[in-house]
Every structure is written in structure tokens, then in C-alpha cells.
Structure 1
Amino acid sequence: MTPNSNFNNKFNSKFGSKLFRSLRTQLLLWLLVPLVLFVGFNIWVTYNNAIAMATVVHDRMLLGSARIIAEQIRYEDDVLQVVIPPAALELFQSDSHDRVYYRVVAANGTLLAGQIDLPDPPRLPHNEESTYFNAIFRDDPVRIVAFSQPVFGVPAQSSVLIEVAQTQLSYKMLSDRMWEHTVQQQLAILVLVVLLLLLGLRHGLAPMMRLRDRVQRRKPGTLEALDAAPVPTELVPLVHAINDYVQRLDDHMSAHGRFIANASHQLRTPLTLLNTQVHYGLRSSDAGTKDAALRAINNGVQHGIRLVNQLLTLSNAETGVGHPLRQTDVNLIEVVQTVLEELATLAQAKHIDLGFESAAAAVMVHATPSMLEELVANLVDNALRYTPAGGRVTVAVTSTGHATVLRVEDNGPGIPEAEREQVFERFYRLHHERSDGSGLGLAIVREIALASKAEIALSGPTIEGGQRSGLIVAVTFPAVPGTADSAPEPLV
């Protein structure tokens, strides 16, 4: 195959694909296909009608010729005499130059006139009756009429059989002309309909083109809703869908902008402190002061590393909502135990009683393993950071036939009911907080829960010694088929 042919094939393929993606082309095809089928059926019916009409005309001419011959039969001097008048044959004069044959036979089979070898009719007609049939005569297809004419006054003679045959050139010419004339009319009508359809489609699709132009003329960054008033009824759902998408895009971009601004602020503050501590340590000549500055720098670096890691985790979790990461069945008990072992040092440093409750050795949930570990780690880390020294944090896992619930409970300051929905926003911090948290923990938990098709709920505080304190975070996962059920417990 030559390069030119490859280019032509690719061009034709792309052009054809683009053409058939056109709404105008598809609508035109859907309208033309049934119309073309109808025209084809009509042409077929017209062809049959043309043949039937030509047959009727041809048969009447044959019968007329036979009757003219029959009128000239005489019985004179005890002999049947037949005179073939010129008018009987002039009926068939045409440009097709058909050949005409005839035969007149007495009742006893005696040939009175014409060709003796003209084929006999399939059945003998009764008096004043005619019958028509097709035959091959002298290698030509012919149409034949057989007409029975009674002759009165003839002894032992009841009737005479007259046959007139004609080749079918004029018959075919007549039927073809009638059919071709009808086909030309049908094609002319089809072309006119196509032109009217193109004009109608152009006019009908004009509102869609105007809507396209309105969208294309909008300036970059414009997120105003489209006006559905000048749009046809069929396009109103499309306009509403575009407006809904624009609204969601506006919300996403606003949240994205807030996220960048908050992240910049969260990173700028520790970097500014680090810079101050570095200058302070460089200006000081005392070794103890330098060590204190280094320890402060180390704490600031650790805080920055944790913040960056949380930002990356949040980004991965958000990606998992729109495009789920590879998920599998994970043993939630093992994940919780691993997290508690890693955070045991932090709990001991704050003298916090960190406990775990579960009635089963293995409880399976469907999730991404790394994301599930981040979810548990953030919940427990938040509880440990906001629980005062000497407090307690309890993690519990329960499973029923319908759901698996991870519950993290602490006796810290809790979250007021009015702010429980806001704490899931990025960088949101309660006014009374004194923790070094970044405000990303619960935001990460919510995104991971959404990606795992789990639900998260906050409850509390509880009553202890007349004081209201504590928070319960419950994450409910869909049950994994085939997992053994443990005894259900009340969660809140």
C-alpha cells in the first residue's frame, strides 16, 4: 500500500467519523432512511402497477383485433370464409416493430386462416369468451388471446376459435415508460424533500448554534448561569445541566482557591518561625541558646513535614473520590492494631489511656489499605492531640450483617453541635483549641470515607461527674459479603 493510499484511508476514516458524529447528519439520516425505504417500496409497487396496466392495454388490443376478425367470418356456399381486414392488424402498429400472428380454426379443428403452429390455449373458451396466456412462438415470447365466436347457420358447427398473438416489445416499452415516468417523479419529490429537510434542519438547529455561540463568546473565568428563556423547550434540560455544572465548578474552584490560600498561610507561618529561629541561633554565641534554637527548628520542621504529608494525603483521598484507587478486602482489626502501636508513644507521653475493644479477631472492609490506615491514624491522632493529659481514648470495632462500624471515643473538650459539620472543612479550627493540629485531620477522614463508600458521624459530648465532655466519631462501612458477624453493640 502506497503512502498516498494510507493518507487517503486515514483522511476518509477521520472525515467519515466526524461526519457521522454531526447531529445534522444523524437527523437527516434518520429522516431519509424511512423516506428512501418508502420511495423504494413505492417504486416497486409502481413497477407492478405499470406491468398490470400495460398488460390490460395489450390484452384489450389483442381482443379488439380478434373481434374485428370474428366479425368478418361468413358462411357462404356451404363454406366458412374468413377475410382478415387490415384494421385488425393496424391496431398493433408502433415504433417497436412487433410481429403479429393469428389463427382461425373451425370447431372440427380445420384451419381457416393464419399460422397452423400457433400454440393452443390452455383451455378452450366458451362462446363469446376470451382467454389470455403467454407462450414462446418461433423463439420469441408472445402474448396470445383466444376468442370463441359462434357462427349461426353452419351445420354441425357451433363456434370458431380466433387466436391473435403479438411479440412483447411494445408491451415492455409501454410498461417501462410508465415506470420510468413514475420513478422520475418519485426521485424529483425525494430531492425536493431532501432540500426542504436540509433547510428545516438548518432552521431547527439554529437555536443550538446560537447557544453554542453564546457559550463561546463568554470570557474565560465567567461562571454566570445561562439564560434558558430564549432556548427551545428541548434544549432547556441541556441549559440546566450546563448551569448545574457551572455552579459545581464554581464551588470547586472556590474551595480550591480557599485551600491554596489556607495551605499558603499554614506553610508561611512555620517557615517564618523557622527563619526567625535560624537568625536567632546564628546571632547567639551561647551554646545552650543555640541548642534551644535547634530544638525549636526541629519542632517546626516536624510540624511542616506533618502538614505537607497531610496535604498529600488529602489530595490522594480527593482523587480516590472521583477516580477510586485499587480497593480490596482489608482486615480492619489489623489496621487498628498497627496504628495503635505506632501512636502508643504519643499516648504514653501525655499519660492518656489508649484502649481497643473488639469482639472479633478479623473484621473485613472493602477499601484501599493505605487510605484506610490514614483514616484510622488521623482519627486516633486527633483524639490524642485534643484530649488533655490523664484522659482516655478508646477505639472500638463492631460488625453486624449490614455494616461495620469503627468508633473512636475520647473525653476531651468535644465539639459543639453547631460546629460539627464545619470541622470537616479544610483548616477549620475551633476557637478554643490549643493543639498544634493543622485542621486537616477530619477533612482527610471524610474524603477517605467517601472514597470507601462509608459514612461518618459525630456525637457527644457525654456526661461525666456533672461535666459535659468527650466526642465519639463513628465511621460506618458497608458489610463485606461472607464476613462473620460479631455481636452487635450500641454505638452512640
Structure 2
Amino acid sequence: MWFNSLRTQLLLWLLVPLMLFVGFNTWVTYNNATDMATVVHDRMLLGSARIIAEQIRYEDEILQVTIPPAALELFQSDSHDLIYYRVVTAHGVLLAGQPDLPAPPKFSHNEEAIYFNATFRDEPVRIVAFFQQVVGNPERVPVMIEVAQTQHSYKTLSDRMWEHTVQQQLAILLLVGLLLLLGLRHGLAPMMRLRDRVQRRKPGVLEELDAAPVPSELVPLVHAINDYVQRLDDHMSAQGRFIANASHQLRTPLTILNTQVHYGLRSTDSEGKDAALRAINKGIQHGIRLVNQLLTLSNAETGIGRPLRQSDVNLIEVVQRVIEELATIAQSKDIDLGFEFRDNPIMIRATPSMLEELVANLLDNALRYTPAGGIVTVSVSHDETGALLLVEDNGPGIPENEREHVFERFFRLQEDRSDGSGLGLAIVREIATASNAGVVLSTAPGGSGLLVSVSFPPPARQPASDIDGGPAS
């Protein structure tokens, strides 16, 4: 939509306050124009009243008034206003003018003027009442001179003053709007050039953008893009290595299977065919396990960027199920597989299937590298900081300088002679990260072997423990 345009939003943020200011200023200007027209109008009325007052004489013991033409010529205009006047004594005796002209609210002192609005002969008028003593008048009481004018010229004058000011302000607003458009176009040009630079890049090119020609306000955006490009490059490189390693890991067993199939087909005796079938079965099982691990790893990676559905899971039950599934492997190698826990349940927040894969890979890794007759012990505990899963074995362990590398995909220790794929601990790390858990490798307390510690944060809702358990093995 047009409102999503940055140029439009900036223009609105600049023009709307300016328009509000112009509107307020228009109201102020209208009041000022009205006040100015009132001042001009009142001065003309007072000037006319003074001219009439100067023509009042006390002769032959009476007050005489002559209305000079100059007193009325002051009001000549195109508006054709009507002029009224009245001269009365302090006792209300009419000396000249219209007798029914409205009187002021009070009788004032000498040389004072009173301005007021009234309605006369069905028209609004502005009136000045001027009081002045007449030289020679024995009463020494001021005479009142009233001059009134209809308000057509007054309204015309105030409207013209207001319209002239409004026209100037509208012209300024239009000019400012045009200058803002030009300024925004010029100011946003670097952003458009940055967009063009990004759009011109060829697909698959992950070069960083040069921040030198970019304005300082866009430098953080360029740095963010460069950081994302670097992370994307690292991710794509890791994916490329993963695909290459996965292809290698799958190509080898498939080549062996193909050789075993040909050997079985060429064998003429049943004993050779049976040996080939057993070898093929073993290779298929290894391939199935590798494919399952690859799928598990892919699902775990998905859980990091887009979390899988999680729920409160009893860690004790998960470990018990995995131990039951792997018990036959432990028995076949005469390994003492034990499980220790004090409380049941111990709840954590995780994806149930992923949590089971994490425990299965840890135990499979321990059973695979622990020699015959060895010991593998699983223990689970919890406190206010969360739950802790420990898997301890008395196998060869992992050198301290290699412990971070074993979390890489397909990484194998040089002395590793097992049929593992090098994905077990990588899967554990990915699932733990998706569950907000931490994984730490260390030497077992006995001084040899490996101790894997997985710490889980407490769930948002802590269920009450209603079943007491004890150590089991």
C-alpha cells in the first residue's frame, strides 16, 4: 500500500504538523485581522466625531451645531455603508442627527470615547460616543457626539486582510511541500542505490557490501546485511560439508552392499550365500541407522529456527524407555547399565520425540565405546535451577582438546575403530540447543571414561511430585 512507502510516511510526518501549524496560524491571523479592522474602523469613527465636535458653538445662549462634509467623507468606500450621527446635551436635548440612535451604556467625562456595537434599523452598526465640553457653555457639562456606521466595509477590510495572509501561507505550504518532495527524493537516493547494488548481485554470490559510499544512517543496515551474509555463508558452507559427508557416508555402505550382492549371486553354495545375506543385513541396518540419524539431525536443526511443539515431559520415563530398548545391547557386551534417580517425576519442557532421541544417542554412544564388561550409569536429578541428566561410562573417554570437535557432524577420533557414523553427539547438541539445554563433556569422576552432563531449564509450570522413587539399576 502507498502508506507503506517510507517517502510517504516521512512526507506525512513533516507536512501534517506543518498543516496543523498553518491551520492554527490561520485562526490567529483571522483574529488579528478582525482586531486590526476594528482599530481602523474605530479611529475613523473617532476622527469623524472629533470633526463634528469642533463645529459645536455656544452662541446667543444656545448650542449650535454645523455638520461639516469632511466628517462624513472619511467613510467613503465601495461597500456603500450608511453613516448615522447624533449630537445631544447632557440633559438629552437633541442638537442634530437621528434621535433614535442607540445610546452608550453610560455618560462619560470630557475628551473620552466609548465604542460599542448595536443594531440600528435592522442592521449591525459600530458606534462611537465622544464627550466634549463646549467653550462658553455655562453648564460646563460635556456634549455627547455619536457617530455610527454599518459594518460592510469593516467586514470587507478584515476579510481581505485575512485572505491575503492565508494565500501567502498556502503558497508557502505548497512551496515547502515541493521542496520536501525534492529533498526526500534526493535524501532517499542512497537507499535506492543500495537497493540496486543488492539487486544486481548474481544468485549465490555472498560478498559483503561496501559501507564507504553509504550515508552514516544506513551504515548499521549495511553492517546487519553483511553480518547476515557472513552467517548465511557459514550456514551454506556447513550445509555443503554436511551434504558431502552424508554422500560419502551413504556411498560407502551402498558400494559394500553392491559388492556383497554380487558375491552372493556368484556363490554356488548355500553357506556363501548365507554369509553374504548376513553381511547385507548388517550393512542395511547400518544404513538405516545412518539415515535415521540424518533425519533426526535435520528435525533438530528445524527446531532451532522454528521451535517444534513442546510439552512437559517426565525425564524419568523417557530414560527408562530408552534403557529398556538398549538393554539387549548392554547384555550382549556384558555392560552394567544402571539408572539412578531420587524423585519421580522430574518434569522438563521439551519435544518428547526429540528428548528420546537425545537420551538414545547418549546411551548408544556410551555403550558403543565402552569395552565389554564395563559400566554405564545414567542419573537424573533436579533442583530449583532445573533438571540434570548425567551419562557416565568407563570407556576410553575423549581427550580434552577434542571435546568441542566431537560435536561436529561426522567427526571421528583418529583411534576410533567403531562402526559409528560420527553423528551421535552432533544430534545431542542440536536437540539440546532446541530445548534450551546445555551439554558439557568432562572426564568421569573415576579418572577415566566420559561424563556427559545435560542441564535442562525448569518448566514454566512445576507439577507437584506425587510419586516417590528411589535408586534403580
Settle same-fold status: TM greater than 0.5: yes
Unaligned runs of 5+ in 1: 1-16, 487-492
Letter in 1 for 2:131: S
Q: 1:482 aligns with which of 449, 462, 466?
A: 462
1:354-369 residue pairs with structure 2 within 5 A? 354-369=337-352
C-alpha RMSD over aligned residues: 1.6
Partner of 1:147: 130
Correspondence 1:189 to 2:133: no
1:37-116 residue pairs with structure 2 within 5 A? 37-116=20-99
Letter in 2 for 1:222: V
In 2, Cα distance between equivalents of 1:136 and 1:420: 103
What per-residue deviation string (whole Å, max 9, x for no partner) do you get for residues 267-304 of structure 1? 11111111111111111121111111111111111111
- Structure 2 counterpart SS, 1:469: coil
In 2, Cα distance between equivalents of 1:427 and 1:138: 108
Partner of 1:470: 449
Is the CA contact (8 Å cut-off) linking 2:392 and 2:444 kept in structure 1?
A: no
- Structure 1 counterpart SS, 2:344: coil
Letter in 2 for 1:341: E
Question: Offset of 1:308 from its aligned partner?
Answer: 1.0
Correspondence 1:370 to 2:353: yes
What per-residue deviation string (whole Å, max 9, x for no partner) do you get for residues 90-128 of structure 1? 111111111111111111101111111111111222111
In 2, Cα distance between equivalents of 1:246 and 1:75: 104
Question: Offset of 1:453 from its aligned partner?
Answer: 0.5
Is the CA contact (8 Å cut-off) linking 1:415 and 1:461 kept in structure 2?
A: no
Partner of 2:471: none
Partner of 1:7: none
In 2, Cα distance between equivalents of 1:209 and 1:348: 69
In 2, Cα distance between equivalents of 1:139 and 1:381: 108
In 2, Cα distance between equivalents of 1:442 and 1:117: 111
Unaligned runs of 5+ in 2: 468-473
In 1, Cα distance between equivalents of 2:412 and 2:118: 105
In 1, Cα distance between equivalents of 2:336 and 2:106: 118
Is the CA contact (8 Å cut-off) linking 1:103 and 1:111 kept in structure 2?
A: yes
In 2, Cα distance between equivalents of 1:349 and 1:140: 119
Partner of 1:422: 405
**TM-score of the two chains, using structure 1 as the length reference:** 0.92
Letter in 1 for 2:402: E
1:136-175 residue pairs with structure 2 within 5 A? 136-156=119-139, 158-175=141-158
In 2, Cα distance between equivalents of 1:195 and 1:284: 91
Q: 1:312 aligns with which of 278, 284, 295?
A: 295
Count of equivalent residues: 466
1:13-412 residue pairs with structure 2 within 5 A? 17=1, 19-156=2-139, 158-412=141-395
In 2, Cα distance between equivalents of 1:122 and 1:273: 121
Moved more, 179-188 or 76-85: 76-85
Question: Offset of 1:77 from its aligned partner?
Answer: 2.2
In 2, Cα distance between equivalents of 1:424 and 1:122: 101
In 2, Cα distance between equivalents of 1:330 and 1:461: 27
Question: Offset of 1:462 from its aligned partner?
Answer: 5.4
In 1, Cα distance between equivalents of 2:106 and 2:225: 79
In 2, Cα distance between equivalents of 1:271 and 1:405: 40
Letter in 2 for 1:68: I
In 2, Cα distance between equivalents of 1:461 and 1:239: 48
In 2, Cα distance between equivalents of 1:475 and 1:353: 21
In 1, Cα distance between equivalents of 2:410 and 2:124: 99
In 2, Cα distance between equivalents of 1:378 and 1:100: 109
Question: Offset of 1:411 from its aligned partner?
Answer: 0.9
What per-residue deviation string (whole Å, max 9, x for no partner) do you get for residues 407-466 of structure 1? 001111111111110111111111111111111111111111011110000001555xxx
In 1, Cα distance between equivalents of 2:309 and 2:197: 41
In 1, Cα distance between equivalents of 2:128 and 2:50: 11
Is the CA contact (8 Å cut-off) linking 1:355 and 1:394 kept in structure 2?
A: yes
What per-residue deviation string (whole Å, max 9, x for no partner) do you get for residues 461-490 of structure 1? 555xxxx6310000001123536799xxxx
In 2, Cα distance between equivalents of 1:122 and 1:256: 97
Is the CA contact (8 Å cut-off) linking 1:152 and 1:158 kept in structure 2?
A: no
Moved more, 108-117 or 239-248: 108-117
Partner of 1:10: none
What per-residue deviation string (whole Å, max 9, x for no partner) do you get for residues 319-358 of structure 1? 1111111111111011100100010011111111100111
Letter in 1 for 2:239: H
What per-residue deviation string (whole Å, max 9, x for no partner) do you get for residues 385-412 of structure 1? 1111111110011112212110001111
Moved more, 260-269 or 75-84: 75-84
In 2, Cα distance between equivalents of 1:288 and 1:99: 136
In 2, Cα distance between equivalents of 1:235 and 1:250: 22
In 2, Cα distance between equivalents of 1:315 and 1:267: 16
In 2, Cα distance between equivalents of 1:359 and 1:453: 24
Question: Offset of 1:156 from its aligned partner?
Answer: 2.9
Question: Offset of 1:234 from its aligned partner?
Answer: 1.2
- Structure 2 counterpart SS, 1:70: helix
In 1, Cα distance between equivalents of 2:462 and 2:309: 21
- Structure 2 counterpart SS, 1:133: strand
Question: Offset of 1:39 from its aligned partner?
Answer: 1.5
Letter in 1 for 2:188: L
In 2, Cα distance between equivalents of 1:400 and 1:420: 27
Question: Offset of 1:384 from its aligned partner?
Answer: 0.6
In 2, Cα distance between equivalents of 1:157 and 1:226: 97
What per-residue deviation string (whole Å, max 9, x for no partner) do you get for residues 22-44 of structure 1? 11111111111221122122211
Letter in 2 for 1:475: V
